[in-house]
Chains A and B, each alone.
Chain A
Amino acid sequence: MRCLVDLLESSIAKKISVALAGILLVGFLAVHLAGNLFLLAGPQAFNGYAEHLANNPLLPAAEILLAALFLWHIAAALVARAQNRKARPHGYQGQRAKGGRTWGSRSMTATALLLLAFLIVHLKSFRFAPDRSDLYALVMKDFQNKYYVGFYVLAMGALALHLSHGIQSAFQTFGVNHPRYTPWIKRASVAAAVLLAAGFAFLPVWALVTGGAR
Chain B
Amino acid sequence: MNFTLKIWRQKSAKAAGRFVFYQVSGVSADMSFLEMLDLLNEGLIAKGEEPVAFDHDCREGICGMCSLVINGQAHGPDKNTTTCQLYMRRFKNGDTIIVEPFRARAFPTLRDLTVDRSAFDRIMAAGGFISTNTGSAPEANSVPVSKPKADAAMDAAACIGCGACVAACPNAAAMLFVAAKVSHMALLPQGQPERERRVLAMRKAMDEEGFGNCSNEYECEAACPKGISVSNIARLNREYARAALFFPDHAESGKS
A2 at the interface (CB under 8 A from B): no
CA distance A168 to B217 in the complex (A): 11
Number of interface residues of B (CB under 8 A): 50
A172 touches B230 (CB 8 A): yes
CA distance A104 to B190 in the complex (A): 40
A14 at the interface (CB under 8 A from B): yes
- Enumerate chain A residues within 8 angstroms of B98, measured Cβ to Cβ: 93-94
Interfacial residues of chain B within 85-134, with CB under 8 A of chain A in the complex: 98, 100, 103-106, 109
Total A-B pairs in contact (CB under 8 Å)?
139
CA distance A176 to B173 in the complex (A): 20
Task: Knowing A16-B241, A101-B170, say if A88 contacts B103 (CB, 8 Å).
Answer: yes
A15 touches B217 (CB 8 A): no
B65 at the interface (CB under 8 A from A): no
CA distance A89 to B211 in the complex (A): 11
A177 touches B105 (CB 8 A): no
A80 at the interface (CB under 8 A from B): yes
Q: Please classify the interface of chain B as helix (H, G, I), strand (E, B), loop, or mixed, using the class held by over half of its residues.
A: mixed
Which of B104, B231, B233, B238 contacts A88 (CB under 8 A)?
Answer: B104
A101 touches B218 (CB 8 A): yes
B231 touches A84 (CB 8 A): no
Number of interface residues of A (CB under 8 A): 42
A144 at the interface (CB under 8 A from B): no
CA distance A175 to B98 in the complex (A): 37
Interfacial residues of chain B within 208-256, with CB under 8 A of chain A in the complex: 210-223, 230-231, 233-238, 240-241, 244
Stretch binding the partner chain, chosen from B30-38, B43-51, B56-64, B68-76: B68-76
Interfacial residues of chain A within 8-58, with CB under 8 A of chain B in the complex: 9-16
A96 at the interface (CB under 8 A from B): yes
Shortest distance between the CB of B36 and any CB in chain A (Å): 19
B235 touches A87 (CB 8 A): no
Shortest distance between the CB of B35 and any CB in chain A (Å): 23
Task: Knowing A15-B214, A83-B213, A92-B103, say if A98 contacts B237 (CB, 8 Å).
Answer: no
A88 touches B212 (CB 8 A): yes
User: Chain A 61-95, CB within 8 Å of chain B: the 1/0 string?
Assistant: 00000000000000000001001101111111111
Shortest distance between the CB of A171 and any CB in chain B (Å): 8
A97 touches B222 (CB 8 A): yes
Which of B206, B207, B215, B230 contacts A108 (CB under 8 A)?
Answer: B215
Shortest distance between the CB of B95 and any CB in chain A (Å): 14
Among residues of B, the one whose C-beta sits closest to the C-beta of A93 is B98
B72 touches A96 (CB 8 A): yes
A179 at the interface (CB under 8 A from B): yes
A105 touches B19 (CB 8 A): no
B100 touches A93 (CB 8 A): yes
B211 touches A98 (CB 8 A): no
Task: Knowing A84-B212, A92-B69, A165-B216, say if A12 contacts B103 (CB, 8 Å).
Answer: no
- Enumerate chain B residues within 8 angstroms of A108, measured Cβ to Cβ: 215
Among residues of B, the one whose C-beta sits closest to the C-beta of A9 is B207
B214 touches A175 (CB 8 A): no
B212 touches A177 (CB 8 A): no
CA distance A175 to B171 in the complex (A): 20
Task: Knowing A83-B213, A100-B221, say if A12 contacts B234 (CB, 8 Å).
Answer: no
- Enumerate chain A residues within 8 angstroms of B171, measured Cβ to Cβ: 84, 87-88
Beyond A12-B236, A87-B104, A92-B72, 8 extra complex contacts between A and B, CB < 8 Å? A12-B237, A15-B213, A86-B212, A94-B71, A94-B72, A95-B170, A100-B223, A175-B235
List, sorted by A's number, 26 A–B pairs whose CB atoms are closer than 8 Å: A10-B240, A11-B203, A11-B207, A12-B236, A12-B237, A15-B215, A87-B105, A87-B171, A87-B172, A87-B211, A88-B104, A88-B105, A88-B212, A93-B19, A93-B72, A95-B73, A98-B73, A98-B74, A98-B77, A100-B218, A100-B221, A101-B170, A101-B219, A174-B238, A175-B238, A176-B234
Query: Closest 6 CB pairs between A and B?
Result: A175-B238, A100-B218, A177-B234, A87-B212, A96-B72, A84-B171
